[in-house]
């Protein structure tokens, strides 16, 4: 009989022979591995986020403007038609101010009618209106270089078309990876306000950016799209979505003073470093808490698996010694146990792949799982390498 | 040629402050078609000698040659192959796998052999018939009597056409009549040209062998005739 077939036959026999214990151990390991994978994923996100933060603030400190007013006061100014001109003048002043800026606004939900089937699958469906809502990212043309977001498009070209986009034009849109099966470059889709978007390209799967104005939260872009900020009507929302990269706060003080002089809203500004530090602490705490829980689960799973295999080996020791008496090599017996361990590892890796997809986290988890399996396999290796057949046979003879 | 030759073989068990000499300077030879009994009191080293011959234990001194080649020259994989092809074991407690039926137990040596799987069924039927167990393929060991279990163990020892059958107290758990039947099977095996080594402290069993060697405190005496041994 083919050696691999024989091992497979033994594997099925062994699992059948102790199915409840095997399944219990398997569930423990799968849970532990999924937790481990989740932690790896979070750690990767944390590490990527920190890297992005370092890149973002590489040119100086990042500040963003904050409105120091009640909602009613803000609404009163923004809804006052007579002040629209002043507002436009102020926005133009901010826009022309010679400080490196980038704008990211992801606070506007856009509705899409049923005609756009892909949005049904990707966005949030509102049964009452029959619409599906997506929250796009409206950004300044330098978004892609600032946040190092890439895809199948030419960044320079996209920047140019973002820059040349004016109100009323078809807005260029760079779509998240989830849209890729439904659209191709050049396609046009339209939102419920009548704004038309022309597909300029697709982002890489798993693309994200770190929003400086929102406690350095990582925003994933697979299920959304990026359009120029120019396709939104300029208003104060744009202002508070503007980040200023500078080490000299006098420019910001001037913007605040200017708003005051013009009788618009009282403004202030926040440093991003402080938020980033808080964010770093929060993420680290989350990871540490999860790691502690996972560590305990993993420890119990390890104890459970080792106990299972000790019991399994002890209960089959006589059988193994008979097989060795009849010509089985130690390696074949150890291989039989290794098959079970490998089966458990394989199931847990498949579970991790099913939940998290193919990623570095799953690869790390598989590596840890491999090391873990080696630990579990140490016991049978010690038993069979160190104990002569005759002693195994004697210690189990009845 | 499958001659078994032990030259000045010794076996010492050591550890935890004890030292037991199980075998000392044993010289022993078994030729093809020979049926040899090893006798001696309990703890004299009979089983240790058999285990060394069967390659499930190793000597601490001396040389063991099988078919002219020193066992120390064999790799672990070659030793496993030799255990599979050259020797068949029959033990007092039968050493059967309880969850396997008679047929599956007999099949075990074939799984590790080069015998094609399509030949297994014929071989199993053949050896079962040789030991008078035809029609009992599906019986589990728990459904068999002691004598029947021992027959299955003998069938397993024979199925791979081993050149030498090593039996450790094969009749120890059986009544006299069944024991005699088992010994008759061994005689038949010897007559077919294979060698049989039987460890026993039963004088009647020893008397059924071609020659008997006595071992005492790990030292092998000269070959004795059954009558000498009794006196």
User: What b/e readout covers A328-362, taking b as 16+ CB neighbours within 10 angstroms?
Assistant: bbbebbbbbbbbbbbbbbeebbebbeeebeebebb
Residue A216's pLDDT band (cuts 50, 70, 90): low
The whole-number average pLDDT for the span A393-397 is 64
Report the domain count for chain A.
2
Q: Write down the pLDDT at residue A114.
A: 64
B89 touches chain A (CB under 8 A): yes
Task: Give the separation between CA B166 and CA B95, rounded to whole angstroms.
Answer: 13
Q: Judge whether residue A174 has pLDDT over 90.
A: yes
Same-domain status, A236 and A314: no
User: Per mean pLDDT, which range of A112-116, A199-203, A280-284 is the poorest?
Assistant: A112-116
- Under 8 Å CB pairs connecting chains A and B tally to 62
Q: How far is A306 from chain B (nearest CA, A)?
A: 24
Q: Helix (H, G, I), strand (E, B), or coil: what is residue B106?
A: helix
Q: In this predicted structure, what is the pLDDT of residue B174?
A: 78
Asked if residue A129 and residue A42 are part of one domain, the reply reads: no
| Band of residue A236 on the pLDDT scale cut at 50, 70, 90 | low
Residues A286 and A268 in one domain: no
pLDDT of the residue at B49: 92
Q: Whose CA is closest to B90, among B39, B179, B176, B153?
A: B153
Do A374 and A231 reside in the same domain of the chain?
Answer: no
Q: Answer yes or no: is A185 within a domain.
A: yes
Residue in B83, B113, B117 closest to A325 by CB? B83
If you ran DSSP here, which 8-state letter would residue B158 be given?
H
Structure tokens at A207: 């693309």
Residues A124 and A234 in one domain: yes
pLDDT 10s digits, A327-336? 988 888 888 8
Residue A51 lies in a domain: no
Q: Distance (Å, rounded) from C-alpha A10 to C-alpha A323?
A: 12
Helix axes B146-159, B176-191, angle to 10 degrees: 10
Asked if B111 is an interface residue toward chain A (Cβ–Cβ < 8 A), one would say yes
Distance from C-alpha of A329 to C-alpha of A336, rounded to nearest angstrom: 11
From the list A322, A328, A398, the residue facing B80 with the nearest CB is: A328
- CA distances in angstroms from A71 to A74, A75, A77, A87, listed in the order given: 5, 6, 10, 17
How many CA within 13 A on the CB side of residue A11? 16
pLDDT at B58 over 50: yes
Q: Which residues contact B83 (CB under 8 A, 6 or more apart)?
A: A324, A325, A326, A327, B54, B55, B56
**pLDDT score of A179 more than 80:** yes
Closest by Cα among B25, B9, B114, B16 to B57: B9
Q: What is the pLDDT of residue A233?
A: 66
H or E element in which residue B191 lies: helix B176-191
Query: Measured between alpha carbons, how far apart are the two ends of chain B, in Å?
Result: 36
Chain A partners within 8 Å of B84 (Cβ)? 326-327
For residue range A86-112, what is the model confidence (pLDDT) as tens digits? Answer: 888 888 888 777 777 778 888 778 888
Rounded to an integer, the average pLDDT of B33-57 is 90
Which of A237, A255, A272 delimits the end of a domain? A272
Residues A30 and A133 in one domain: no
User: Rounded CA gap, B170 and B156, in Å?
Assistant: 14
Statement to judge: residues A74 and A195 lie in one domain: yes
Q: Is the confidence at residue B229, as pLDDT, over 50?
A: no
Interface test with A, best of B47, B55, B56, B107 (most A CBs within 10 A): B56
Q: Does residue A245 share a domain with residue A159? A: yes
- Residue listed under structure tokens 């100086």: A60
In a domain, A83, yes or no: yes
Residue A52 belongs to some domain of the structure: no
Are A379 and A250 in the same domain? no
Q: Is residue B72 within 8 Å of B66, Cβ to Cβ? A: no
Helix (H) or strand (E) holding B160: none
Contact flag A389-B93 (C-beta cutoff 8 Å): no
For residue A255, what are the contacts with CB-CB under 8 A and spacing of at least 6?
Answer: A65, A93, A94, A97, A267
Instruction: Please tell me whether residues A237 and A155 are part of one structural domain.
Output: yes
> Which chain B residue lies closest to A14 (C-alpha atoms)?
B99
Give the pLDDT of residue A58: 61
Residue A215's pLDDT band, with cuts at 50, 70 and 90, is low
* pLDDT given at position B231: 34
Contact B57 A397 (CB under 8 A): no
CB–CB of A389 and B108 under 8 A?
no
Q: How far apart are CA A30 and CA A33, in angstroms?
A: 5
pLDDT at residue B119 greater than cutoff 70: yes
Q: Among A272, A304, A325, identify where a domain stops.
A: A272
Question: Is A72 inside any structural domain?
Answer: yes
The verdict on ipTM greater than 0.95 is no
Distance separating alpha carbons of residues A279 and A277, to the nearest angstrom? 5
Rounded Cα distance, A201 and A388, in Å? 67
What is the predicted pLDDT for the residue at B230?
36
Per-residue model confidence as pLDDT tens digits over A11-44: 888 888 888 888 888 888 888 888 888 888 878 8
pLDDT in the model for residue B110: 93
Please compute the mean of the pLDDT values over residues A197-210 and round it to a whole number.
89
HEC string of chain A equals CCHHHHHHHHHHHHHHHCHHHHHHHHHHHHHHHHHHHHHHHHHHHHHHHHHHHHHHHHHCCEEEEEECCCHHHHHHHHCCHHHHHHHHHHHHHHHHCCCEEEEEECCCCEEECCCCHHHHHHCEEECCCCEEEECCEEECCCHHHHCCCCECCCHHHHHHHHHHCCCCCCEEEEECHHHCCCCCCCCEEECCCCCEEEEEEEECCCCEEEECCCCCEEEECCCCEEEEHHHCCCCHHHHHCEEEECCCCHHHHHHHHHHHHCCCCCEEEEEHHHHHHHHHHHHHHHHHHHHHHHHHHHHHHHHHHHHHHHHHHHHHHHHHHHHHHCCCCHHHHHHHHHHHHHHHHHHHHHHHHHHHCCCHHHHHHHHHHHHHHHHHHHHHHHHHHHCCHHHHHHHCCC
pLDDT at residue A57 in the model: 61
Q: Is B20 on the interface with A (CB under 8 A)?
A: no
Cα atoms in the 13 Å half-sphere on the side-chain side of A123: 25
Taking 70 as the threshold, does the pLDDT of residue B164 lie above it?
A: yes
- Rounded to whole angstroms, the Cα distance separating A101 from A140 reads 9
Give residue A281's pLDDT band: very low, low, confident or very high (50, 70, 90): confident
Strands (E), chain B: 4-15, 18-30, 35-39, 61-66, 69-70, 87-91, 164-168, 195-199, 211-216, 219-224
Average pLDDT, chain A: 82
Q: Give the separation between CA A318 and CA B118, rounded to whole angstroms.
A: 28
Compute, in degrees rounded to 10, the torsion defined by CA atoms B139, B143, B149, B155. Answer: 0
The number of beta carbons lying within 10 Å of the beta carbon of residue B217 is 13
A196 has a pLDDT exceeding 70: yes
Percent of chain A with pLDDT over 90: 6
Residue A9 lies in a domain: yes
Please indicate, yes or no, if residue A201 is contained in any of the structural domains. yes
The share of chain A scoring above pLDDT 70, in percent, equals 91
Q: Can you tell me whether residue B34 is helix, strand or coil?
A: coil
Q: What is the pTM of this model?
A: 0.64
Higher pLDDT, A172 or A249: A172
Please say whether the beta carbons of A131 and A192 come within 8 A.
Answer: yes
Q: Which stretch, A92-101, A382-391, B79-88, has highest mean pLDDT?
A: B79-88
Domain C-terminal end among A245, A272, A299: A272
Same domain, A262 and A149: yes
Specify whether the CB–CB gap between A219 and A129 falls below 8 A.
Answer: no
| pLDDT higher than threshold 80 for residue A166 | no
Position B225 scores a pLDDT of: 47
Q: How many CB atoms lie within 10 A of CB B156?
A: 30
Q: Which of B56, B85, B99 sits opposite A388 (nearest CB)?
A: B56
Residue A24 lies in a domain: yes
Phi (first) and psi of residue A93, to 5 degrees: -65, -45
Q: Which domain holds residue A329?
A: 2-46+280-397
Chain A residues with CB-CB distance to B under 8 A? Answer: 1, 6, 17, 318-319, 321-330, 332, 388-390, 393, 397-398
Same domain assignment for residues A161 and A199: yes
């Amino acid at each position: 009989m083919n050696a691999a077939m024989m091992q497979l036959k033994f594997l099925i026999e062994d699992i059948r022979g102790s199915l409840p214990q095997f399944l219990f151990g398997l569930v423990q390991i799968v849970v532990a591995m999924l937790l481990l994978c989740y932690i790896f994923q979070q750690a990767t996100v944390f590490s990527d986020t920190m890297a992005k933060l370092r890149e973002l603030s590489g040119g100086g400190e990042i500040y963003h403007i904050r409105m120091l007013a009640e909602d009613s006061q803000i609404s009163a100014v923004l809804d006052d038609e007579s002040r629209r001109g002043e507002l436009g003048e102020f926005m133009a002043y901010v826009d022309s101010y010679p400080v490196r800026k980038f704008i990211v606004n992801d606070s506007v939900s856009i509705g899409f009618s049923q005609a756009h089937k892909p949005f049904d699958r990707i966005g949030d469906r509102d049964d009452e209106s029959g619409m599906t809502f997506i929250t796009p990212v409206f950004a300044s043309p330098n978004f892609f270089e600032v946040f190092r977001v890439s895809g199948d498009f030419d960044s320079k070209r996209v920047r140019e078309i973002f820059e040349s986009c004016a109100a009323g034009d078809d807005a260029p849109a760079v779509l998240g990876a989830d849209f890729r099966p439904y659209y191709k470059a050049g396609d046009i889709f339209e939102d419920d306000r009548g704004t038309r978007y022309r597909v300029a390209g697709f982002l890489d799967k798993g693309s994200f950016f770190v929003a400086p104005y929102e406690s350095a939260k990582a925003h994933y872009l697979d299920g959304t799209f990026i359009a120029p900020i120019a396709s939104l009507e300029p208003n104060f929302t744009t202002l508070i979505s503007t980040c200023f990269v500078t080490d000299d706060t006098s420019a910001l003080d001037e913007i605040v003073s200017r708003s005051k002089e013009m009788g618009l809203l009282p403004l202030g500004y926040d440093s991003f470093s402080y938020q980033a530090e808080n964010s770093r602490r929060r993420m680290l705490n989350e990871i540490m808490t999860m790691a502690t829980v996972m560590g305990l689960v993993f420890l119990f799973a390890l104890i459970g698996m080792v106990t299972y295999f000790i019991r399994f080996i002890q209960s089959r020791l006589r059988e193994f010694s008979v097989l060795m008496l009849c010509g089985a090599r130690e390696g074949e017996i150890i291989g039989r146990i290794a098959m079970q361990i490998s089966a458990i590892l394989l199931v847990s890796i498949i579970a991790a792949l099913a939940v998290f997809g193919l990623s570095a986290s799953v690869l790390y988890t598989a590596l840890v799982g491999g090391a873990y399996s080696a630990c579990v396999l140490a016991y049978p290796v010690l038993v069979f390498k160190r104990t002569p057949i005759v002693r195994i046979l004697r210690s189990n003879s009845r | 040629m499958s001659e078994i030759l032990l030259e000045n073989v010794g076996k010492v068990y050591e550890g935890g402050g004890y030292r037991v000499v199980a075998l000392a300077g044993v010289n022993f030879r078994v030729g093809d078609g020979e049926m040899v009994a090893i006798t001696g009191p309990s703890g004299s080293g009979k089983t240790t000698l058999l285990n060394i011959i069967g390659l499930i234990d190793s000597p601490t001194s001396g040389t063991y040659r099988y078919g002219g080649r020193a066992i120390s020259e064999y790799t672990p994989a070659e030793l496993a192959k030799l255990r599979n092809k050259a020797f068949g074991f029959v033990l007092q407690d039968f050493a059967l796998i309880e969850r396997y039926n008679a047929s599956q137990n007999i099949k075990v040596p074939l799984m590790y052999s080069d015998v094609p799987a399509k030949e297994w069924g014929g071989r199993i039927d053949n050896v079962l018939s040789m030991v008078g167990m035809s029609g009992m393929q599906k019986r589990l060991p728990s459904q068999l009597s002691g004598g029947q279990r021992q027959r299955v163990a003998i069938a397993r020892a024979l199925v791979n056409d081993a050149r030498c059958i090593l039996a450790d107290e094969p009749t120890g758990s059986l009544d006299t009549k069944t024991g005699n039947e088992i010994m008759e099977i061994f005689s038949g095996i010897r007559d077919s040209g294979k060698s049989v080594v039987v460890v026993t402290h039963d004088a009647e069993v020893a008397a059924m062998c071609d020659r008997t060697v006595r071992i005492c405190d790990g030292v092998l005496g000269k070959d004795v005739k059954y009558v000498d041994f009794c006196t």
